[in-house]
Amino acid sequence: MKKNYSAYFPALRTTAAWLGPMLLLAAAVAGCQTETVQLPNPGPEYYPVAVGAYRIYDVADTSWRNNVPTASRFQFREQVAAELSPDATGQPVYRVVRSRRATPADAWATDSVLTVTVGRQMLTEQRNGRRTVELVFPVVEGSSWNTDTFFAPDTSRALNRVPNRYYRQAGQAFSVARAGKTYSYQNTVTTLNDLDAANGINVCGTTILRTTYAEGIGPVYRVRRRFSHELSGSGTCNPAIKYLGQSRSEVLIESGN
């Protein structure tokens, strides 16, 4: 004979009375949560920093004088050497050593040192005492900011300076070819400086600064072009002639920890 133990324990009947509907409600809520809300990419994933991590770039460099180019080829390596003391706001700071070599068979020689600070709202680099804002978070297509926010005696005024860097192709795939090999990335964002100069509005000078970052990797492609199209002292500008300047592209060919 099967006994009804709830007759001996009234509290058990009370618990069952409210527990049943609660279980049904929980099941209903769980059934509604079949889709995960995808939050916007906050941004630091495009520039991961960890002690020991390195990136090697193939560099194609051309300098111009009186419209005559001189080309060279070499490699850069950027390696996170150490984590330094946090900055005044408590954000982590890293020391990055940039080395150079002419060919893969040569030894690395230190070229320069910079520091990278990863904050909640931005990522900054400091070279030769000058701190620039390289990325702002979250990464949003079309966002703009001023890279020289910290390069002014009055920071409050600097925050209102005209933006000179822009996000383009956020979250898009990117490919670049170098030396017969193609490097492809599924999720990237590109920063571009000075859209007017990039679009050729200034006929006396060209300045293009472009960097593409890949999620989980960091900078994978950099372009730096600065030209003067004016013959010194002449007052005449010809955008087809590069009187003085430099063009450099860096393609990431290897990375690791």
**pLDDT digit string (tens) for 71-81?**
999 999 999 99
Residue 114 within a domain: yes
Tell me if 27 is assigned to some domain.
Answer: no
Domain membership flag for residue 242: yes
Residue 210 has pLDDT above 70, yes or no: yes
Containing structural domain, residue 183: 44-256
Say how far apart CA 80 and CA 207 lie, in whole Å.
Answer: 29
* Residue 7 confidence (pLDDT): 41
Could you give the CA distance from residue 229 to residue 135 in angstroms, rounded to a whole number? 30
The more confidently predicted of residues 7 and 42 is 42
At position 188, the amino acid (one-letter code) is: T
> 29: part of which helix (H) or strand (E)?
helix 10-32
Any idea which residue has 């509907």 for tokens?
21
Does 130 map to a domain? yes
Q: Is residue 95 part of a domain?
A: yes
Q: Please determine, for residue 2, whether its predicted confidence score (pLDDT) is greater than 70.
A: no
Is the pLDDT at 105 greater than 90? The verdict is yes
Q: Residue 200: which pLDDT band, with cuts at 50, 70 and 90?
A: low
Residue 82 within a domain: yes
Nearest to 92 by CA among 56, 55, 159, 47: 47
Structure confidence by residue, pLDDT tens digits, 137-157: 999 999 999 998 887 655 554
**Is residue 177 situated within a structural domain?**
yes
Token pair, residue 177, equals: 């070819």
Number of structural domains the chain divides into: 1
Does residue 2 fall inside a structural domain?
no
